[in-house]
Amino acid sequence: QVSLSGLKPLPEKVKIVEVGPRDGLQNEKTIVPADVKIRLIDMLSEAGLPVIEATSFVSPKWVPQMADQEEVMRGIHRKPGVSYPVLTPNLKGYRAAVKAGAMEVAIFGAASELFSKRNINCSVEESLQRFEEVMSAAREEKVPVRGYVSCVLGCPYEGSVSPSRVAEVAQRLYSMGCYEVSLGDTVGMGTPGGMAAMLEAVMREVPVHALAVHCHDTYGQALANILVALQNGVSVVDASVAGLGGCPYAQGASGNVATEDVVYMLHGLSIHTGVDLPKLMDAGSYICRSLNRRTSSKVAQASCKL
Amino acid sequence: MGHSCFPDFVKIVEVGPRDGLQNEKEMVPTEIKIQLIDMLSQTGLSVIEATSFVSSKWVVQMADHNEVLTGINKSPHVRYPVLTPNIQGFQAAVEAGAAEVAVFGSASETFSRKNINCSVEESMQRFEQVICAARQACIPVRGYVSCALGCPYEGQVHPAQVAKRLHELGCYEVSLGDTTGMGTAGSMAAMLRAVMAEVPIHALAVHCHDTYGQALANILTALQMGVSVVDSSVAGLGGCPYAEGASGNVSTEDVVYMLHGLGIQTGVDLAKVIEAGDFICRALKRPTNSKVSQATSRSQPSFNMCE
């Protein structure tokens, strides 16, 4: 493996967690019918992605895009070896998810109090307590739970967020039983120095194999931030096909990093992902046509015309 | 832990007015070019590539090179290099008041032939003439190596020898260009290791294209290896001539945002660069390619982007 400038060698393998069908579509204005979501997920399964976040069991009155959650869960072809986690903000959502066939769930904490209050209407502590309920039930039923921490490199309301605060929340989620904690740069304002400092703090509390990064590309920093995370031993990266999902805090700005661009970088670094890039790009073109929007992936923009 | 040592200061070489505009379809009137350069001169940028003394029959956008170079308000803190592909271009540039010039080599034979209609060796001979004349006139020369991370025709190429030649001929700095943007952090590291064996690191710059979204990661890698000069283009001007509709140059705004976030000084006022970018995009009637610019023009809470 390439060891960049004397730092630890890069991981040989990186697991990509594809969040397009959930995080991506959730932040797209155009509502997409269930059959299109199902087709997208099936295409992503064929592209070799090992984890595809399928939908969200939040109340449809908050997130209308995810109102067809049950239909989607029932309609997808589950490829053996691929997991299809779903978001469950509380026990009620968890129960509905399991009933609909979910075999893995995800919960979302925040490193910023203001963000927690404005986003889910309660404090960080209150949200962690709700999650304890979900964790209990999941533990009994042997359903793995993934934890997310929002605002790890800054908050749209609070501004800068201390790495120690991020570490605290990550540690809580991990010790509660989350098998993995995904650290999200929710507004994309982070830069590589901030990423390194934040990871340094978090890695004192949570082992690196249980960490993932979820970078937004709102300021164009995502790939550089992901690269630094890899240099620090992180080997799980969240991304969204075609860069679906704009930024809710900066109208018209981009949001999620594009899976195609991440895979291009990883393969260029000889890192194994198991992903078939041309098939991934097919999935990206498909969903962009359905949404009637241009891809946010630069690889996709470049490749279709050369 | 986890950090490598970054340079304290990075010099940004702004190529928007030349490399950027040269690759934009829309013809830009002379006074707009002048106003763009004048705005950029107020941002703290210390090097702004102003124009190109190539034959106007090849590069129509640069036909007004004389008027641009004589029309701009030259700041005492800024240098304004211009491209000079051959001795005629050099002489015209000097006559128009150029105090620094640049020559463009290629790491790929096929690219050289297709782009400037001669072999790499022939181009080196032309540059030698320019560099000789420049030395006599005490004019510094910057060298560029195209296709440093891959060629649209030949695939993988080996830029170290071309970089070495340009440096030995007398270029004070050699800018290594990822012309198609296809490079990744791995190929950037490998290329720099090879070039650094031939050219001292303080004389190297990277010129990354963002066609595959890899530019900032590639620049980061270069910084980690000790490179401290980065080329970029305001608003990411200049599409990719090899992939229609795809992006080209990396945006100065996005580079500066990353550098400042890393605690690296640039001397550049990001807000003023964004303004210059907005200006030229309005004139070109096209949206900016800079993500920082897209985000800051519409974000509700305002972030502190100061150095």
pLDDT (tens digit per residue) in A32-53: 999 999 999 999 999 999 999 9
For residue A276 the two structure tokens come to: 């078939």
Residue of A3, A5, A215 for testing the chain B interface, max B β-carbons within 10 Å: A5
* pLDDT tens digits along A256-298: 999 999 999 999 999 999 999 999 999 999 999 999 999 999 9
Residues of B within 8 A of A2 (CB-CB) are: 185-186, 189-190
Q: Identify the pLDDT of residue A7.
A: 56
Q: List the single best residue of A157, A219, A305 to mutate versus B (max B Cβ within 10 A).
A: A219
Q: pLDDT category, B103, cuts 50, 70, 90?
A: very high
Closest residue of chain B to A294, computed from CA coordinates: B245
pLDDT digits (tens, 9 = 90+) for A87-133: 999 999 999 999 999 999 999 999 999 999 988 889 999 999 999 99
> Are the CB atoms for B23 and B43 separated by under 8 Å?
no
ipTM (interface predicted TM) = 0.91
**Cβ neighbours around B20 below 10 Å, total:** 29
Q: Do A228 and B220 touch (CB under 8 A)?
A: yes
For position A60, what pLDDT does the model report?
86
For B233-284, write each residue's pLDDT tens digit. Answer: 999 999 777 666 677 999 999 999 999 999 999 999 999 999 999 999 999 9
CA dihedral A87, A88, A93, A96 (to 10 degrees): 60
- Report the pLDDT value the prediction gives residue A3, as an integer from 0 to 100: 39
Q: Is residue B304's pLDDT more than 70?
A: no
Q: Are A74 and A96 in contact (CB under 8 A)?
A: no
Q: Give the separation between CA A128 and CA A140, rounded to whole angstroms.
A: 18
What is the pLDDT at residue B247?
79
Residue A23 CA, chain-centre distance (Å), reads 7
Condensed to tens digits (0 to 9), the pLDDT of residues B49-64 reads 999 999 888 888 899 9
What's the pTM?
Answer: 0.93
- The percentage of residues in chain A with a pLDDT greater than 70, rounded to a whole number, is 95
Of B217, B244, B251, the CB nearest to A227: B217
Q: How many residues does chain B have?
A: 307
Selecting from B2, B187, B216 the residue whose C-beta is nearest the C-beta of A268 gives B187
The tens digit of pLDDT for each residue in A139-171 reads: 999 999 999 999 999 999 999 999 999 999 999
pLDDT at residue number A256:
95
SS3 (DSSP) at B26: coil
pLDDT tens digits, residue range B209-231?
999 999 999 999 999 999 999 99
Interface of B with A in 201-220 (CB under 8 A): 210-214, 216-217, 219-220
- Find the DSSP H helices in chain B: 21-22, 30-41, 65-71, 87-95, 109-116, 120-136, 160-169, 185-196, 215-224, 252-261, 270-284, 291-298
User: Any chain A CB within 8 A of the CB of B8?
Assistant: no
pLDDT at B79: 98
Taking CA–CA distances from B240, the nearest residue in chain A reads: A302
Share of chain A above pLDDT 90, in %: 87
B171 a catalytic residue? no
- CB–CB of B184 and A265 under 8 A? yes
For the beta carbon of residue B26, count every other beta carbon within 10 angstroms: 10
pLDDT at B2 over 60: no
> Is A264 within 8 Å of B214 when comparing Cβ atoms?
yes
- Give CA–CA dist A17/A84, Å, rounded: 10
Active-site pick, B151, B171, B208, B240? B240
Tell me which of B10, B184, B211 to substitute to probe the interface with A (most A C-beta atoms closer than 10 Å): B184
Report CA-CA distances (Å) from A101 to A72, A89, B197: 10, 17, 58
Please, where are the H alpha helices in chain A?
25-26, 34-46, 69-75, 91-99, 113-120, 124-140, 163-176, 192-202, 222-231, 259-268, 277-291, 298-303
Is residue B70 scored above 50 in pLDDT?
yes
B102: nearest Cα among B13, B5, B200 = B13
Residue A237, pLDDT above cutoff 60? yes
Give burial (CB, 10 Å; 0-12/13-18/19+) of A75: middle
